[in-house]
Amino acid sequence: MPRKNQLRLSFDGVWHERLVSIQACCLVVEFVIFVGKVEKDLFSDRKLVPLKFFGPQPQGRELSSSHQRRNNKWTRQSHSLSIGLVKVAALSPAKAETFGLMWTSSVWSCLRANFTSRFQKLHRWIETEAAPQILYEQRDETTSSLRIFGSLVGTSKAKLSCMEISVIASSSIDGGIGSWDIKTGTEQLRFKQCASPAHGLAAVGEKFLAASQLRNASGSSGSIFFWSWNKPQVEVRSFPVESVKALAANSEGTYIVGGGASGDIFLWEVASGKLLKKWHGHYRSVTCLVFSGDDSLLVSGSEDGSVRVWSLLRLFDDLQRQQQGSTLYEHDFNEHTTSVTDIVIDYGGCNAFIVSASGDGTCKRQQQGSTLYEHDFNEHTTSVTDIVIDYGGCNAFIVSASGDGTCKVWSLSKGKLLRNIIFPAAINALALDPGGSIFYAASVDSKIYVGAMNSSSDYATQSLGSVSEQGKAVTCLAYCADGNLLISGSEDGVICVWDPKSRRLVRTFSHGKGPVNNIQVVRRTVVGNSNKAQSSWKKNGSSLPPPPLEKYERSGDNTVDGIVIVDPPPLSDVPVYSSYHSADLINEQVRELQQQGSAATEIEMERLKLEYKKSLQMNDQWQKNYENLLQVVMEEELNGSSS
């Protein structure tokens, strides 16, 4: 490679620190590359800058040798570590370009503290799961800044790719859940008996589908049904205390969250069916629930027009605090980036205001011990119909749509309204473009509008296309990052797949007569035969359906010490109950293990010991890898500065 055109990665001191912390957490899953521009007129022409990424073939000597014995998941790990070797070639001669790598993790909050606010100011990032190639370059007309989104995971993913991506859709009248393969368009299994409300369909991990049900004449209790992916019949029926409308599951499928008609929000653990927490979230029924990209935050929208942001960590924290009899509200820094710089308490006695400020630029002025939520966005005048959250981690944007015909963009870190975009008609659903600067809004007048976050006008009139001639409303949207497809469902039961770039219809599926009101893109790993060595309980767990969700919070056992994280291989092959479990569940599993016959236990113990040893070795390897990486980077740095 010609050195001239080569941009190098420069890791400054701060970067090292970050790497160390990530290393320590062992939680690196994916990474993103971004180009931050320092000089104003570096790329002065407005053409698309072709950018090539070389790698991420490991080039370091030791690294490649350490590669040989690895199975799939391990390779993936080392890919993310070998980022330091990625070469990026750009057309223009490198000036003072800073080039960095951004790491995301599934347990984001652990890492959050390490990103300074300065860093956040500079960059926005996007998850790389999206596409195996450079997505595109984006240019801000106003600030002439340049962002390039790309993904390096693609190649490594391709190796693993037994991924199957399907579209599932349900309707408000009993039409079952239809599923289609997005690539071929063939219809797959149709799951029976489902009449779900809008936002009432969720994929629970890769194993189950869950949908809240509309039909219950009695009205006293709701119902949530589970289907297993390979059986069309309902597998598990649960009946929560009240009718549940919105439903969401975290990406691992360990928790399920339901929003009730009274505004209560329920949080269940899927594996045990336990109702971990129930709290009063809104004044009126909850219309939609969304997890943030890293599953640490829950955003809920309600019929009363408010959008609230909940930190799952804090919800449990607060619970504990209440148990301890303490009422003091405390700012929780897991959600924010830097430490508190100042706290002032005024003289109002029990009604005092605490003003606490933290380095991440947020300030909470809250009445003591009063609220559970992080933010309460209250500008919509009527029911919130959909919410999307972009990939910005703790600095993300939240876009909410409402029946009042507006979409509002909120900043998660600042907790305030950034934009208000007015559409010609009420908006039913939203989908976010992976670039993060535009979103698609499905309206009741059968059009899909394109909303731009940065447009100078408050009115959005540009539309992608119209779904039907008769003015049937578009009711739901989903974005499939693989292949960049937008999927819309409309009231006449037709599901359309669009290519948003060319604004053309790619294909259509027909769900049936009733209105489609839920669409989800589900990716599932087709389980290969390679992984025989599964622990017995895991096997049991994966083959058995989960128990029904419980109605009430268990009050007896207060031994819950929050949520523990079992350190898993980040990409386990059967990721049903992979990473998080409540302590209770783990205790139970331990007990189970102990109760089993001694021989079995011993075998199990042996196996576990072996695994433990393995993981110790792994840990060593990791450390080595890191050191190698560091060394390579340093060398590069030295070479760079010397040349």
Partner 1 sequence: MLLLFMFAAIVLPEQSVGADKSGFATSKKGLTLDELLKQTSHHNAKVRKNALHGIKDLLEHNPAELHSLKYAIVDKLRERLSDDDKSVRDTFYLLFDSKIFPSCLEDNQGPMVSRLMPYIFKAMAESSVEVRLMAFKFFHLVVKHYPPTFSLYADKILENYKDIIQKNHFYVQDRSKLNVALSGLAHCLSLLPCDESDNESHKENEPLLAYEQDAANESARFAHVSGRLKEIVGVLINCFQDFIPLIHTPGGFDEKSFSCLHHILCSIGHAIKFSIRMHVQRQTMCLPAYEDDTLMLLDQDIAPLVSKKLLGSFPLNPENNLSGKVDERYFILNSVLTKIFLEVSDWSHLHTDLCNRFLVFIENTLLDKVTRSDRQRKPIPKPIHEKTLLALLPSIPKLILRMDSDWRENLLQAFTSTFNDCKPESPLTLACISVVRNVIIPNGDIHYLSESDSTVNNYLRVWVNKLPSLLNQLGDKHPLSSQAVLKLLLDLGRVGCLNASPTFEEDIINFFNPCSQGEGDVSGGAFARLPREAQDLALAFLYYFTINNFSSPLLESIVSCCLNPHLEPAVLCRIVEVVHDAYEAGYIQITDHFSFLTTLVARFKVVPEEGQFSMECKEQETHRGTLKALTELVCLRLSKMGDGSLVLQILEKVLLEQINLKPWFDNGCAILRIICTLDSKPTSLSESSITTLSEYLPGYLIDIVKCIPEDKQNSSIYIQTCLYYLIPCYFMFERSSKLTEEVLKRMQSIVSENTKALESVQDRESGRHSLNLIQCVVSVVLLMHNDVKVRKIISSSKSEIDLILQDVISLQTSGSTSLTVEGKHMMKMAGERLKIASNSLVT
| Residues 551, 626: Cα–Cα separation, whole Å | 47
Among 315, 363, 564, 630, binds partner 1 (CB under 8 A): 363
Among 73, 190, 284, 538, binds partner 1 (CB under 8 A): 284
The three-state secondary structure class of 425 is: coil
| Residues 303, 198: Cα–Cα separation, whole Å | 12
Ramachandran quadrant class, 192 (left: phi over 0; alpha: psi -120 to 50; beta: rest) = beta
* Position 34 contacts partner 1 (CB under 8 A): no
Among 378, 531, 543, 619, binds partner 1 (CB under 8 A): 378
Among 397, 439, 440, 577, binds partner 1 (CB under 8 A): 397
C-beta pairs of 591-597 under 8 Å, 24+ apart in sequence: 592/537, 593/537
* Position 44 contacts partner 1 (CB under 8 A): no
Task: List Cβ neighbours of 69 (8 Å cut-off, separation of 6 or more).
Answer: none
Instruction: Name the one range near partner 1 by CB under 8 A: 87-95, 208-216, 236-244, 298-306.
Output: 298-306
What residue type is 600 in one-letter code? A
Q: What angle do CA 610, 612, 615 make, to 5 degrees?
A: 110
Residues linked to residue 489 through DSSP beta bridges, in sequence order: 476, 495
Closest C-alpha to 37, from 27, 26, 49 = 49
* Position 409 contacts partner 1 (CB under 8 A): yes
Task: For partner 1, give the closer residue by CB, 377 or 479.
Answer: 377
Site map (CB under 8 A) of partner 1, residues 435-474, x = contact:
-xx---------------xx-x-------------xx---
For residue 114, the minimal CB distance to partner 1 (Å) is 18
For residue 387, the minimal CB distance to partner 1 (Å) is 17
The three-state secondary structure class of 575 is: coil
* Position 196 contacts partner 1 (CB under 8 A): no
For residue 470, the minimal CB distance to partner 1 (Å) is 8
Among 21, 366, 542, 621, binds partner 1 (CB under 8 A): 366
Terminal Cα distance for the chain, rounded: 15
* Position 314 contacts partner 1 (CB under 8 A): no
For residue 608, the minimal CB distance to partner 1 (Å) is 48
For residue 282, the minimal CB distance to partner 1 (Å) is 9
Structure tokens at 356: 């606490």
Peptide bond into 232 cis (omega under 30): no
| Residues 412, 619: Cα–Cα separation, whole Å | 35
For residue 89, the minimal CB distance to partner 1 (Å) is 24
Task: For partner 1, give the closer residue by CB, 250 or 300.
Answer: 300
Among 376, 561, 611, 627, binds partner 1 (CB under 8 A): 376
Task: For partner 1, give the closer residue by CB, 221 or 621.
Answer: 221
For residue 413, the minimal CB distance to partner 1 (Å) is 12
For residue 342, the minimal CB distance to partner 1 (Å) is 5
Strand segments (E) across 96-174: 98-105, 136-139, 146-149, 163-171
List the alpha helices (DSSP H) in 161-307: none
Task: For partner 1, give the closer residue by CB, 381 or 543.
Answer: 381
For residue 138, the minimal CB distance to partner 1 (Å) is 8
Task: List Cβ neighbours of 424 (8 Å cut-off, separation of 6 or more).
Answer: 405, 443, 445, 449, 461
Structure tokens at 293: 């990209």
Instruction: Name the one range near partner 1 by CB under 8 A: 62-70, 322-330, 371-379, 543-551.
Output: 371-379
Dihedral sign for Cα atoms in the order 114, 120, 122, 124: positive
| Residues 612, 618: Cα–Cα separation, whole Å | 10
* Position 359 contacts partner 1 (CB under 8 A): yes
Strands 447-452 and 463-466: antiparallel
What residue type is 462 in one-letter code? Q
Task: List Cβ neighbours of 131 (8 Å cut-off, separation of 6 or more).
Answer: 151, 154, 434, 481, 482, 483, 484
Closest C-alpha to 85, from 58, 53, 52, 51 = 58
For residue 149, the minimal CB distance to partner 1 (Å) is 11
Dihedral sign for Cα atoms in the order 80, 86, 89, 93: positive
Task: For partner 1, give the closer residue by CB, 143 or 540.
Answer: 143
* Position 365 contacts partner 1 (CB under 8 A): yes
| Residues 285, 273: Cα–Cα separation, whole Å | 23
* Position 355 contacts partner 1 (CB under 8 A): yes
Task: For partner 1, give the closer residue by CB, 268 or 397.
Answer: 397
For residue 362, the minimal CB distance to partner 1 (Å) is 8
Query: Environment class of residue 119 by beta-carbon count within 10 Å: exposed (0-12), middle (13-18) or buried (19+)?
Result: middle
Task: For partner 1, give the closer residue by CB, 112 or 124.
Answer: 124
For residue 443, the minimal CB distance to partner 1 (Å) is 12
DSSP type of residue 393: G
For residue 453, the minimal CB distance to partner 1 (Å) is 5
Task: For partner 1, give the closer residue by CB, 135 or 256.
Answer: 135
Question: DSSP per residue over 154-179, as a string?
Answer: HHHHHHH--EEEEEEEEESSS--EEE
Among 348, 528, 562, 640, binds partner 1 (CB under 8 A): 348
Contact 389, 397 (CB under 8 A): yes
* Position 344 contacts partner 1 (CB under 8 A): yes
| Residues 434, 436: Cα–Cα separation, whole Å | 5
Q: How many chain residues bind partner 1 (CB under 8 A)?
A: 55
* Position 369 contacts partner 1 (CB under 8 A): no
Strand segments (E) across 286-396: 286-291, 297-302, 307-311, 340-345, 353-358, 363-367, 375-377, 384-389
* Position 306 contacts partner 1 (CB under 8 A): yes
Task: For partner 1, give the closer residue by CB, 414 or 507.
Answer: 414
Residues 109-148 that bind partner 1 (CB under 8 A): 117, 121-122, 124, 138, 140, 142-143, 145, 147
For residue 370, the minimal CB distance to partner 1 (Å) is 7
- Binding stretches for partner 1 (CB under 8 A): 117, 121-122, 124, 138, 140, 142-143, 145, 147, 283-284, 303-306, 341-342, 344, 346-349, 351, 355, 357, 359, 361-363, 365-367, 370-371, 376, 378, 381-383, 397, 403-404, 409, 418-419, 426, 436-437, 453-454, 456, 470-471, 491
